[in-house]
Amino acid sequence: MSDHIAAMPAAAPADAGLAFADPVEGTSVDTEPASPGPQSATDVPETAGAAGVPGAAARPGAVATRAADVAGFVRSWLERHGDELVAFRRDLHAHPELGRQEYRTTGRVIERLTAAGLVPQRFGDLPGAYCDIGTGGPGNAADSDGPVVMLRADLDALPLQDAKDVPYASTVPGVCHACGHDVHTTVVLGAGLAVAEYAATHRLPGTVRLLFQPAEETMPGGALDAIDAGVLKPVDAALTVHCDPALDVGTIGLRPGPITSAADMLEITLAGPGGHTSRPQNTVDLVYALSTLAVQLPAALNRLIDPRSALALVWGQVQAGTVVNAIPRTGQLRGTVRTLSRETWESAPELVERLARQIVAPFGAEIVIDYRRGVPPVVNTADMVDVFDSTVTQVLGHSAATTVAQSLGGEDFGWYLTYVQGALARLGTRTPGGRTYDLHQGDFLADERAIGVGTRLLAGAAVEALGRLATS
């Protein structure tokens, strides 16, 4: 996720259903010691009433049991394949690739899907792929008139040096998975493989589409590439998860409405004739004009935009001049514009340009404004958040869900939700009692038990959403 801001810390219940399989033999799970409590990937008990365990009490009604129907199957599948998923994630982590360069990662995903009898489709010359799973077996799609639910993963890493001392650390200098996309990819792969095996003997009420998308960390993101390739044409709903190191492993963070922010890039260049600092009256005092713009533009925006939209313009770069006694000819401001409101996001470019020109006009500087669209906000639809909430109760236990705060981080999953309903859920990756890491840092470490939790969540949510859509 681009510039993600984690939710407020929340603790996972001790019985949040973490078990999925032992770690790969001969390797260590990348968790910090926690105190006290179970630490292996298999010794955390289920929450009472969670589906798929002896004595589970599912809520009455067809809708409530859809996720529960697949829960026990996926749990059993993970007992057989959990170690493989951990190994798969570690392989991706050791071989990270930047946006629109994820050819090896795509190849590894396609290789595993094909081995399961599925038929993944590439995006032409771009990295990335999608794969459909439906009734009648792993290689068959559901009836064309049935609903389609898409599970989305992002493939790319970040241009950061891996700072972790683990056996599977990045082997690519200056590139590492510091945002959890290797976990996302593994979770969607695992959910898809489990659902495909389930579909061989159980009828699905529609199709589950797996999407492995490139370049989430770029602006605008690779979601637009996938949409241009037609990946959404048959899709009725889209679901995804994102790692959250402020939530304990086993905890799922949910929020209806805006959960992430729109994020755009802004570059403003001012120009003048230059001159000597002893005679600013004879020229354009460019640094003064630039500093005035840097302070007044964010303030003016905050007075003209509804505060409830949470618009924020923050500068990341200010550049002008090379010596102390010369007024420079050019200067630049670079920053990001973020808002939780789709309406504000759509009107922001025109408003930013108008205000910037008005602020600079008295100084006589020439101005060039480069406003680059990034991503819209992720606005979770209430029905799909309810799908996640119901699935958490049936699959992980009623105490595993928590409400998370809105984030001003950007996520290009928002592009999909401009066309179809859907939701993003936060996947807890913090070891209980352990350190709270930060995303987009080279030392980011995820508790690998989150892989099993995410797999169970997405597999159950996909089937739950299909059931609801098929009967709506």
Q: Which three-class secondary structure string do you get for 43-111?
A: CCCCCCCCCCCCCCCCCCCHHHHHHHHHHHHHHHHHHHHHHHHHHHHHHHHHCCCCCCCCHHHHHHHHH
CA-to-CA distance for 468 and 64, rounded, in angstroms? 10
Handedness of CA 222, 225, 231, 233 (dihedral sign): positive
Find the Cα–Cα–Cα–Cα dihedral 215, 220, 223, 226, rounded to 10°: -90
Residue 226: half-sphere exposure toward Cβ, Cα within 13 Å: 33
CA-to-CA distance for 338 and 335, rounded, in angstroms? 10
pLDDT in tens, the chain (472 residues): 544 333 333 444 434 445 443 333 333 444 443 333 333 333 333 433 343 332 233 333 333 348 989 999 999 999 999 999 999 999 999 999 999 999 999 999 999 999 999 999 999 899 999 999 986 544 455 445 689 999 999 999 999 999 999 999 999 999 999 999 999 999 999 999 999 999 999 989 999 999 999 999 998 889 999 999 999 999 999 999 999 999 999 999 999 999 999 999 999 999 999 999 999 999 999 999 999 999 999 999 999 999 989 899 999 999 999 999 999 999 999 999 999 999 999 999 999 999 999 999 999 999 999 999 999 999 999 999 999 999 999 999 989 999 999 999 999 999 999 999 999 999 999 999 999 999 999 999 999 999 999 999 999 999 999 999 999 8
pLDDT of residue 31: 44
**Residue among 401, 93, 430 at smallest CA distance from 244:** 430
Phi/psi-derived region of residue 386, left when phi > 0, alpha when psi is between -120 and 50, beta in every other case: alpha
Question: 129 near 123, Cβ under 8 Å?
Answer: yes
CA distances from 102 to 97, 197, 215, 230 (A): 5, 27, 8, 20
CA distances from 115 to 111, 134, 388 (A): 6, 17, 29
Domains identified in the chain and CATH numbers: 62-259+378-471 (3.40.630.10), 262-375 (3.30.70.360)
Tens of pLDDT, residue by residue over 166-194, are: 999 999 999 999 999 999 999 999 999 99
CA-to-CA distance for 32 and 122, rounded, in angstroms? 38
Question: 324 near 290, Cβ under 8 Å?
Answer: no
CA-to-CA distance for 199 and 459, rounded, in angstroms? 11
pLDDT of residue 141: 53
pTM greater than 0.95 (yes/no): no
111 is written with which tokens?
Answer: 């290789």
Q: Please state, as a whole number, how many other Cβ atoms lie within 10 Å of the Cβ of residue 252.
A: 27
Host H or E run for residue 183: helix 181-199
Instruction: Give φ, ψ of 219 to 5 degrees.
Output: -125, 125
Phi/psi-derived region of residue 192, left when phi > 0, alpha when psi is between -120 and 50, beta in every other case: alpha
DSSP 324: T
CA-to-CA distance for 228 and 331, rounded, in angstroms? 37
CA-to-CA distance for 386 and 381, rounded, in angstroms? 9
CA-to-CA distance for 48 and 431, rounded, in angstroms? 21
Q: Please state, as a whole number, how many other Cβ atoms lie within 10 Å of the Cβ of residue 123.
A: 21
**Residue among 401, 471, 421, 472 at smallest CA distance from 150:** 421
Q: No. of H helices and E strands in the chain?
A: 8, 16
Tell me how far apart the terminal alpha carbons of the chain are, to the nearest angstrom.
Answer: 32
Question: 464 near 39, Cβ under 8 Å?
Answer: no
Phi/psi-derived region of residue 221, left when phi > 0, alpha when psi is between -120 and 50, beta in every other case: beta
pLDDT of residue 66: 84
